Amino acid sequence: MPVRHHTGRIALALLVAISIMAGVASLAAPPVAAAPAADAVRRAPTRTPVPISGIGVAAGGQHTCVLVMAGGVRCWGQNDRGQLGDGTTTGRLTPVAVSGLSGVSAIAAGHNHTCALLSDRRVRCWGQNDRGQLGDGTVANRLTPVTVSGLAGVSAIAVGGKHTCALQTDGAVWCWGWNNDGQLGDGTGGNTSSHARTPVAVGTLPGALALAAGGTHTCAVLRTHRVACWGSNRHGALGNGTQAGSKTPAAVSGLTTAHAIAAGYAHTCVRLAGGGVRCWGRNDFHQLGDGTRINRRTPVAVSGLSGVDALAAGDNHTCALSGDRRMTCWGSNASGQVGDGTTLRRPTPVAVRGLAAGVLRITTGGWHTCASLSGGATRCWGSNAHGKLGDGTTDNRPLPTMIHGLR
């Protein structure tokens, strides 16, 4: 899911992200599903914390992070790969500060890693690094942030399952990490050992405006407002009418007015100029929102949705933020990630309950969802494995819940 540079506040990107996958940061994103794993968990403190205001949020596979007013980052949830960035591998049920990080403009979270875009337009990442997804030239996990090698002038970031991408101010796109399906877009890859430990240029891309990174695919909105995607296409996530993967950018069929984009595990959605939404790819959990469970190789309209400002795509669910600052979601809902108070799959958009108008930014993880509200509040809902909702418990929540220590 993509993230855009902003000096004081965060504008959405997907995707994350961040979903699974979607981690993109508009300065935000997101992403990718992760199987629950046992790791040490520190219980919530009994003292009453001083509330902290958040101005952006990124949901990963089993962890969540928030960007706070002062430019620092707090994270919580699973931490077995160091994805919380606090120098330990101890899971946290409530927010902890990421070590040595300041001047952050945007954040994005993937399967088990997290990245931040700084005010100097450089990128720092931490967590799992087995495929080089941190971009520091190694495959060593990092418990605290490290700088992405050789990358400057970045305006947006997108974090996928095990790969990361950055958009520069001149429209160039760079990616690094796992390349098993060609998701780095440089014309290489295609086997399970393929990866890049430092950024590589995405080929044949005529200038991008926005990015989204999914499980094993990546997409960009171009300056022409067309869309190009690359990587895995087994479920039609590239939107080009086929199921053949592509190691370089391939045009998505029939889109000429795209403005924003979000990528889930194996599906993709865009916001059009008029506020409508089109989605394509995997649809077995109704994540495309067209009322069916039919995979789509080309874009289809999300049913009954208009006036949309922003999108976020999780593993198998999708959410939209409308111009009146209200939020709707659809798709998989087994953990309550749609936020309507049930665990029923939703084939078309339904309103998130318990959130008054005033939602500023949205993000989706593997099986959970979060929103930043006006006034600095942050709310999360859905799966709470490893405490990723930040409420001091591991109980799933089908409605938005307050994060411990945040307003």
Instruction: Sketch out the chain's domains with CATH numbers.
Output: 2-34+50-402 (2.130.10.30)
pLDDT, one tens digit per residue, over 232-285 is: 999 999 999 999 999 999 999 999 999 999 999 999 999 999 999 999 999 999
Helix (H) or strand (E) holding 278: strand 277-281
The mean per-residue pLDDT over the stretch 353-381 comes to 93
pLDDT, one tens digit per residue, over 191-236 is: 999 999 999 999 889 899 999 999 999 999 999 999 999 999 999 9
Residue given tokens 């289809």 in the structure block: 300
pLDDT, one tens digit per residue, over 63-104 is: 999 999 889 999 999 999 999 999 999 999 999 999 999 999
| CA dist., res. 204 & res. 33, Å (int) | 30
Share of the chain above pLDDT 70, in %: 87
The mean per-residue pLDDT over the stretch 176-193 comes to 96
| CA dist., res. 249 & res. 172, Å (int) | 13
- Helix%, strand%, coil% for the chain, nearest 5: 0, 45, 55
pTM: 0.89
**Which one is predicted more confidently, 344 or 357?**
344
Share of the chain above pLDDT 90, in %: 82
Which structure tokens are listed for 90? 């101890």
Measured torsion, CA atoms of residues 31, 37, 38, 43, in degrees rounded to the nearest 10: 20
**Could you tell me which residues come within 8 angstroms of residue 38 by beta carbon, excluding any fewer than 6 positions away?**
none
Looking at residue 356, its pLDDT comes to: 77
* CA torsion through residues 244, 246, 250, 252, sign: positive
The mean per-residue pLDDT over the stretch 142-162 comes to 98
The mean per-residue pLDDT over the stretch 294-305 comes to 97
Residue 31, pLDDT > 50, answer: no
Give SS3 for 386.
helix
The number of residues making up the chain comes to 407
Looking at residue 34, its pLDDT comes to: 35
The mean per-residue pLDDT over the stretch 392-402 comes to 97
* Beta pairing partners, 208: 222
Looking at residue 52, its pLDDT comes to: 61
